[in-house]
């Protein structure tokens, strides 16, 4: 089975090591010092008090790799549009694209049914390029729950977790998702096949849509945000708006807001990915985690006053930090409904 990890950073590197040890034909697409270190010394994973080292193919030129069975995208979601063309040589007639990214994926309305069937979302897929050039029919959804980090170039540290729920947009248990799930199991991870992958996407996004921007604005860790009365109340308000929107797309939440917040609080003094990106001077995942929820609120004519306020603040924070241009906001960022 030929697997390409497109974006072999913290999560992608973790997957690459585990898949390679399970016998898969793995290739890694990376760049910079991380790529150079992997080429020179292999990719090292620090996990369970041991070191695991593999020597897969590593490149910054996907054209060298040929058609794959699965391309697992582990990039930040806002980076995907910029690599559509370089990804094309990996895509054969039967290649599946696994979106191991945060937020709403480009294929969300594929085989969704209802009035929004076939819609694209400008905040995450400008001009519908991912939909048209990668193809929703190739997509397999994947939710990333583990925490990992790049400790040094070529070195990944596993912090916790091994669950990557997957699913077809249609909900069917296809041979492709069953085969992919089996590979995860052989590699020592869990990838249960879900019939309602959309529900799981929203469950993770439910926390990200509020905790990430609040963390970046306040520089507070999860335990503080979820314990302080003011930031906890703001988080609940955004989560309630998000739930109202999601339920209009037939999403079912298997836990309530209080339990979701408590789960985040118990993670402890953890910096969200958005805060980490801000501190490191990297673009933040504002659109796939926040703007897209606002856009879907506009689609369903759902007011989002709490989310609108936090989104405006985090966009301004990013502009001040030089991590986002100051061009006029997208159509999705229109004023809230009265």
Catalytic center residues: 204
Q: Which residue has the tokens 């009035």?
A: 115
As a whole number of angstroms, the distance between CA 263 and CA 267 comes to 7
Alpha carbon separation from 117 to 9, 95, 179, 200, 219 (Å, rounded): 33, 23, 27, 19, 39
Residue-wise DSSP of 70-88: EEEE-S-GGGSGGGHHHHG
Cα Rg for the chain, rounded, in angstroms?
19
Alpha helices in 166-196 (DSSP H): 175-186
As a whole number of angstroms, the distance between CA 181 and CA 164 comes to 9
As a whole number of angstroms, the distance between CA 65 and CA 301 comes to 45
Alpha carbon separation from 28 to 34, 49, 57, 270 (Å, rounded): 11, 24, 6, 28
Task: Region of 322 please: left (phi>0), alpha (psi -120 to 50) or beta.
Answer: left
Helices and strands (DSSP H and E) totals, the chain = 13, 11
């Amino acid at each position: 089975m030929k697997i390409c990890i497109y974006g072999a950073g913290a999560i992608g590197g973790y997957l690459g090591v585990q898949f390679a040890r399970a016998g898969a034909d793995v290739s890694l697409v990376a760049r910079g010092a991380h790529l150079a270190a992997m080429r020179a010394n292999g990719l090292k994973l620090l996990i369970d008090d041991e070191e695991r080292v593999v020597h897969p193919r590593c490149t910054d030129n996907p054209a060298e790799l040929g058609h794959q069975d699965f391309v697992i995208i582990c990039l930040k979601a806002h980076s995907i549009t910029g690599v559509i063309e370089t990804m094309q040589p990996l895509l054969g007639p039967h290649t599946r694209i696994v979106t191991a990214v945060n937020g709403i994926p480009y294929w969300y309305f594929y085989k969704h049914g209802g009035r929004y069937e076939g819609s694209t979302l400008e905040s995450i897929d400008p001009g519908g390029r991912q939909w048209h050039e990668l193809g929703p029919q190739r997509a397999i959804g994947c939710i990333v729950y583990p925490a990992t980090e790049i400790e040094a170039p070529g070195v990944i540290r596993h912090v916790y977790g091994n669950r990557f729920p997957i699913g077809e947009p249609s909900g069917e248990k296809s041979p492709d998702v069953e085969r992919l799930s089996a590979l995860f199991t052989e590699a020592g991870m869990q990838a249960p096949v879900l019939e309602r992958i959309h529900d799981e996407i929203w469950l993770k996004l439910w926390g990200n849509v509020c905790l990430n921007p609040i963390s970046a604005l306040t520089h507070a860790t999860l335990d503080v945000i979820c314990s302080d009365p003011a930031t906890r109340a703001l988080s609940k308000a955004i989560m309630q708006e998000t739930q109202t929107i999601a339920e209009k797309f037939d999403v079912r939440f298997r836990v309530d807001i209080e339990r979701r917040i408590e789960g985040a609080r118990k993670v402890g003094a953890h910096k969200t990915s958005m805060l980490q990106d801000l501190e490191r001077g990297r673009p933040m995942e504002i659109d796939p985690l926040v703007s897209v929820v606002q856009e879907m609120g506009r689609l369903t004519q759902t007011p989002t006053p709490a989310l609108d306020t936090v989104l405006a603040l985090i966009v301004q924070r990013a502009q001040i930090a030089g991590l986002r241009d100051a061009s006029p906001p997208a159509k999705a960022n229109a004023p809230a409904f009265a």
